[in-house]
Amino acid sequence: MQHEFAPCVYIVASRRNGTLYIGVTSNLLQRIAQHREGILGGFTRKHGVKSLVWFEPHDDIEEAILREKQLKKWNRTWKLRLIEETNPTWRDLAEDFGFVPLVPTGSPPSRG
């Protein structure tokens, strides 16, 4: 199964231990591009939530939606533990799909 085109529940973050957003999509690559470009607006754009820190593919969208609803009810500690079980350094997993690394917020541009 190709994760990027399977229904997925995902978590994006503003930074390590920062603001989290849990979502569901049938096209992970497209959705991450939308978050990174800020075209979705609303909560994720306002809080700079762009880094893919966790995702879970599912066989069908209904199953993914149920899981998303379950995770949204979890307390923050459980969500952080879920991320750190598979991504202890909070690496941007979008880079595994060919996305350019994000420049950390508040960091000066690199001079190169």
Residue-wise pLDDT tens digits, 22-61: 999 999 999 999 999 888 878 888 998 999 999 999 999 9
Instruction: Locate 86 and state its tokens.
Output: 């598979």
Burial of 112 (0-12, 13-18, 19+ CB in 10 A): exposed
Architecture of the domain made up of 3-95: 3-Layer(aba) Sandwich (3.40)
Burial of 90 (0-12, 13-18, 19+ CB in 10 A): middle
pTM for the structure as a whole = 0.86
3-state secondary structure of 71: helix
Residues 6+ apart with CB under 8 A from 57: 1, 3, 6, 7, 8
Query: Domain boundaries in the chain?
Result: 3-95
